């Protein structure tokens, strides 16, 4: 699992992370087998290949925006938990590609918050919906940018207006 979290930003507690949540979602999730590393014809890589895609997406973010991610944990999980889906008003058959948890920078005293900002990318839903490696790379980048935008205080409506939804 990829995780970048400065020592000064250790998690204070799950309830603190619930202060602000944003999601990148597609509905509904079809019930079909998830392609994985054991299926070479799927074009889907293993965990380390997915981490490479995330690293490339992060490296492509220009300054000054890249610097704003220095205090954000970037985490890869296979799938969202039932609790994450429920807390974001999603059904168990919904798909979640990414999730921002934390306090957006535009909120008053965001830099004083004891809450560690966190962006989680969900590998299996992304790989399932984007089996082509090039499309997967594009969607990982799109999801990283989407979640970074929430960290900057940009909501889904504005992202849609900007063509990122």
Between the CA of residue 120 and those of 38, 42, 57, 80, what are the distances in Å?
A: 24, 24, 14, 9
Phi first, then psi: what are they for 122, rounded to 5°? -105, 110
Question: What CATH number is given to the structural domain containing 100?
Answer: 3.30.2010.20
**pLDDT reported for residue 162:** 85
Q: Work out how many domains the chain is built from and give that number.
A: 1
In a domain, residue 136? The reply is yes
Q: Please, are residues 60 and 70 in contact by the beta-carbon 8 Å criterion?
A: no
**pLDDT reported for residue 40:** 40
In a domain, residue 92? The reply is yes
Name the least confident of 8-22, 54-68, 111-125, 130-144: 8-22
In a domain, residue 85? The reply is yes
**pLDDT reported for residue 156:** 84
In a domain, residue 82? The reply is yes
**pLDDT reported for residue 118:** 93
In a domain, residue 2? The reply is no
In a domain, residue 84? The reply is yes
Separation CA 89–CA 96 (nearest Å): 11
pTM: 0.70
What is the DSSP code string of the chain? ------GGG----HHHHTTSEEEEEESPPP--PPP-TT-GGGT---HHHHHHHHHHHHHTSPTTTGGGGTTEEEEEESS--HHHHHHTT--TT-EEEEEEES--TTSTTGGG-SSPEEEEEEHHHHHHH--SHHHHHHHHHHHHHHHHHHHTT--HHHHHHTT--
In a domain, residue 35? The reply is no
pLDDT tens-digit readout, 38-82: 344 444 456 679 999 999 999 999 998 899 888 899 999 999 999
Separation CA 21–CA 89 (nearest Å): 11
In a domain, residue 1? The reply is no
Is the model's pLDDT at 165 over the cut of 60?
yes
Domain that holds residue 61: 7-30+41-161
**pLDDT reported for residue 112:** 65
pLDDT tens-digit readout, 80-94: 999 999 998 999 889
Highest mean pLDDT among 13-22, 33-42, 142-151: 142-151
Instruction: State mean pLDDT over 22-49.
Output: 47
């Amino acid at each position: 699992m990829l995780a970048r979290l400065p020592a000064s930003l250790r998690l204070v507690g799950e309830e603190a992370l619930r202060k602000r949540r944003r999601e990148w979602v597609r509905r509904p999730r079809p019930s079909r087998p998830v392609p994985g590393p054991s299926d070479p014809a799927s074009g889907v890589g293993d965990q380390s290949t997915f981490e490479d895609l995330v690293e490339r997406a992060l490296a492509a973010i220009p300054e000054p925006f890249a610097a704003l991610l220095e205090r954000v944990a970037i985490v890869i999980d296979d799938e969202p938990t039932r609790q994450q889906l429920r807390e974001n008003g999603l059904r168990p058959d919904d798909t979640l590609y990414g999730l921002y948890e934390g306090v957006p920078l535009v909120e008053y005293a965001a830099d004083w918050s004891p809450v560690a900002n966190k962006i989680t990318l969900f590998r299996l839903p992304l790989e399932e919906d984007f089996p082509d490696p090039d499309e997967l790379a594009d969607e990982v980048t799109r999801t990283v940018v989407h979640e970074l935008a929430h960290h900057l205080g940009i909501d889904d409506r504005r992202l849609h207006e900007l063509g990122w939804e």
